[in-house]
Amino acid sequence: MWADLQYRILKRAFPRGPGFGESTFYIGKSKAEVVLGAGFLKSVAGKTVIDFGCGEGSEAIEIARSGAERVLGLDYREDVLQIARRKAQEAAVDKICEFTQSTNEVADIIISIDAFEHFDDPAAILRTMDTLLTPDGSIVAAFGPTWYHPLGGHSFSIFPWSHLLFCEEALVRWRSDYRPEGATKFSQVGGGLNQISIRKFEQVVEDSPFEFASFETVPIRKLRHLHNAWTREFFSALVRCRLVKRKARRASTH
Ligand SMILES: C[S@@+](CC[C@H](N)C(=O)[O-])C[C@H]1O[C@@H](n2cnc3c(N)ncnc32)[C@H](O)[C@@H]1O
């Protein structure tokens, strides 16, 4: 009943539904360089790179054009992979850049952009990445917004923190009226949403075959004066990190 009331409030207050709009922030910019760090594209020359959670493939294609020897874009959604394949053909990099749902190929670098907050089981994804990475390879990941960010509910955040104010049942039912996907949970909406916080991600890495070579929470620009170790869950735009296999394991595989 409580969920039903919340659903009715959402329908009445926001009759146009959740915000499905695409971000225009990266138009004319290299998303890979902005989120993974300036100079990232130089580091891929001659390397085999996997883009895990590649979506429509723009970053994988850019990496292929930047001199990578081989690029694999992985995603579990066949519809986005088809778009990515067409874009790779148009960019004439389809010989070195492939898009697929799974692979056994091993990479020097695995990148993952804006995907760790969507993976249904981030710990399992890290175990898979472990099997796909050379002993000295690294994962370069950037993702956000995380769950306690004002817009951490992605399309559910119709205003800051609304995804925390309304219950999951009401929000998913409301969204389903506009995008019927048969979802009853956040994790079942298109592309998935796992409600990961920054602390939870740190824990997942602590329990994984990887350790942090670097870790940074990037403040929301306008709120950077409020950003510190206590407030980072609420005021971080994204998490950026590099993960390497744990030292003991690297040594044992040499
Ligand atoms: C927000 S999109 C990001 C796409 C791209 N990396 C970008 O930055 O534009 C997240 C992607 O992760 C994919 N994804 C979610 N869970 C996945 C999984 N378990 N395995 C592979 N891909 C997954 C989704 O299908 C989606 O394309």
Residue with the larger pLDDT of the pair 191 and 39: 39
Q: What are phi and psi of 209, to 5 degrees?
A: -75, 5
Does pLDDT of 251 surpass 80? no
pLDDT-derived band of residue 106, with 50, 70 and 90 as boundaries? very high
> pLDDT for 163-220, tens place per residue?
999 999 999 999 999 999 899 999 999 889 999 999 999 999 999 999 999 999 999 9
The residues facing 216 across adjacent strands are: 240
115 close to ligand 1 (CB < 6 Angstrom)? yes
Taking the C-alpha atoms of residue 109 and residue 161, their distance in angstroms, rounded to an integer, is 35
Looking at residues 123-151, what average pLDDT do you find?
Answer: 97
Does pLDDT of 155 surpass 80? yes
CA–centroid distance, residue 56 to ligand 1 (Å):
9
Residues 76 and 196 grouped into a single domain:
yes
CA–centroid distance, residue 77 to ligand 1 (Å):
8
Residue whose structure tokens are 């009226």: 177
Does pLDDT of 21 surpass 90? no
Alpha-carbon distance values, 207 to 50, 85, 193, 203 (Å): 22, 35, 21, 6
Residue 254 lies in a domain: no
Residue whose structure tokens are 């969920």: 3
Looking at residues 2-23, what average pLDDT do you find?
Answer: 89
> What's the structural domain count of the chain?
2
Does pLDDT of 253 surpass 80? no
The CA radius of gyration of the chain, in Å to the nearest whole number, is 19
Provide the CA 240 distance to its chain's centre, in angstroms: 11
Tokens of 228: 């510190």
Residues 59 and 178 grouped into a single domain:
no
pLDDT, the chain, mean? 95
Phi/psi region, residue 195 (left: phi>0; alpha: psi -120 to 50; beta: rest), is left
Residues 170 and 68 grouped into a single domain:
no
Residues 6+ apart with CB under 8 A from 140: 36, 40, 109, 110, 111, 112, 241, 242
Q: Is 148 helix (H, G, I), strand (E, B) or coil?
A: coil
Residue 81 lies in a domain: yes
Q: Which domain holds residue 167?
A: 2-19+149-188
Alpha-carbon distance values, 183 to 116, 166, 174 (Å): 20, 17, 11
Query: Which of 119, 128, 132, 204 to mutate to test ligand 1, by most ligand atoms within 8 A of the CB atom?
Result: 119
Residues 37 and 128 grouped into a single domain:
yes
Ligand 1: residue whose CA is nearest its atom 17: 119
Residue 252 lies in a domain: no
Residue 210 lies in a domain: yes
Q: Which amino acid is at 177?
A: D
CA–centroid distance, residue 241 to ligand 1 (Å):
17
Residues 46 and 141 grouped into a single domain:
yes
pLDDT of residue 247: 80
Contact between 107 and 132 under an 8 Å Cβ cutoff? The reply is yes
Residues 99 and 207 grouped into a single domain:
yes
How do 107-113 and 48-52 pair as beta strands?
Answer: parallel
